[in-house]
Amino acid sequence: MKPRVGLIGLGLMGAPMGANLLKAGFPLTVWNRTAEKAQKLAAQGASVAKSPQDAASQADVLFTIVSDPPALEEVLWGNQGALAGLKKGSVLIDSSTVSPALARRVSKACADQSVDFLDAPVTGGTWGAEKGELIFMVGGKKEVLDRVEPILQAVGKRFFLLGPNGAGQTVKLAMNLILALEVEALAEGLELVTSSGVEPAKLIEVLQSSMGRAAVLDVKAPFMLKRDFTPSFPLRLMLKDIRLAMELAKENGIELPAGAAAYHAYSAVKAAAKSDVDYAAIASYWKKN
């Protein structure tokens, strides 16, 4: 019999993950703070839990994928939180992006009640979530990852075991810092070209044939040229990740000078944005200054 899966957090990433878990035939219980968002998955066969605790108590394997550290603390330790419901021998997989320190705190709380824990943030965006092709960066024990891999296969395609709990989040923060810097650098180059009266698409064409070639040119440049900033990975979440990376650097006693500059630039765009925008909206920085 297939293990029963729980899923807390039905945002841009969680909702398509839920749909793929159902498609793969896993019995699924979901919970989301805004209850209406559970309706679509309920129509596809998911049970809707009354609280995070209720979702956890029904699950052999529970996923959480919520916005940020306070959201994760709320669903785990808040009113009728999931930790109070998790059964002995079950597995908690947190796919939110949070601090490595919080991941280690969750790991300790799980160990205290004989629950296994993996920090397993993802990359791939909404596109990867919809296709079931997410890439997981995992911190935790190999035997736990092996145990849940058949479930992860329903939502992802690669699973990197990076070290003990916290290591998944550490690598995720470093990766998103690099992505934020790449897209910011691309925006600066585009602005330099545009403000000089040269067509910005020409820069992309040349970059595609040069050593500067990178996947962000395929994924983000077309939207930056069209100035379509519909959120795939919202800027507010990228800003949260840069902040978490800066905090980790401070704990480690190292400086991230370009990270600090990127934090400033993304913050300015967020402050000026009138709606939720993708982080590619960093290309609109110059409209605001």
Nearer to ligand NA7, 97 or 165 (CB): 97
Q: Is 170 in the site for ligand NA7 (CB under 6 A)?
A: no
Nearer to ligand NA7, 204 or 244 (CB): 244
| Binding segment toward ligand NA7, per CB under 6 A, in 18-26, 69-77, 109-117, 281-289 | 69-77
d(CA 190, CA 225) in angstroms, rounded, equals 9
Which long-range contacts (C-beta less than 8 Å, at least 24 apart) are formed by 249-254? 251/101
Q: What is the DSSP letter of 89?
A: T
Q: How far is the CB of 2 from ligand NA7 (least distance, A)?
A: 24
Nearer to ligand NA7, 76 or 151 (CB): 76
Backbone angles phi and psi of 227, in degrees to 5 = 55, 45
Q: Where are the alpha helices (DSSP H) in 113-234?
A: 125-131, 142-152, 167-195, 200-208, 215-219, 221-226
- The residue among 125, 98, 87 whose CA lies nearest residue 6 is 87
Q: How far apart are the first and last CA of the chain?
A: 59
Q: Tell the burial category of 43 from Cβ atoms under 10 Å away from its Cβ (0-12, 13-18, 19+).
A: exposed
Nearer to ligand NA7, 69 or 200 (CB): 69
Binding mask 102-131 for ligand NA7 (x = CB under 6 A): ------------------------------
Binding mask 189-228 for ligand NA7 (x = CB under 6 A): ----------------------------------------
Q: 44 to 63, contacts with ligand NA7 by CB under 6 A?
A: none
Q: Is 186 in the site for ligand NA7 (CB under 6 A)?
A: no
- Of 37, 40, 172, 270, which one is the catalytic site residue? 172
Residue 172 annotated to the active site: yes
Q: Is 168 in the site for ligand NA7 (CB under 6 A)?
A: no
The site that binds ligand NA7 (CB under 6 A) totals a number of residues, namely 21
Binding mask 72-101 for ligand NA7 (x = CB under 6 A): --xx--------------------xx----
Q: How far is CA 49 from CA 29, 35, 54, 146, in A?
A: 6, 10, 6, 27
Non-local (6+) Cβ contacts of 234 within 8 A are: 12, 276, 277, 278, 279
Backbone angles phi and psi of 75, in degrees to 5 = -75, -25
Answer for which of 7, 46, 66, 179 binds ligand NA7 (CB under 6 A) is 66
Is residue 98 within 8 A of residue 72, CB to CB? The reply is yes
Q: 3 to 42, contacts with ligand NA7 by CB under 6 A?
A: 9-14, 32-34, 37
Query: Annotated active-site positions, please?
Result: 172
Binding site for ligand NA7 (CB under 6 A): 9-14, 32-34, 37, 65-68, 70-71, 74-75, 96-97, 237
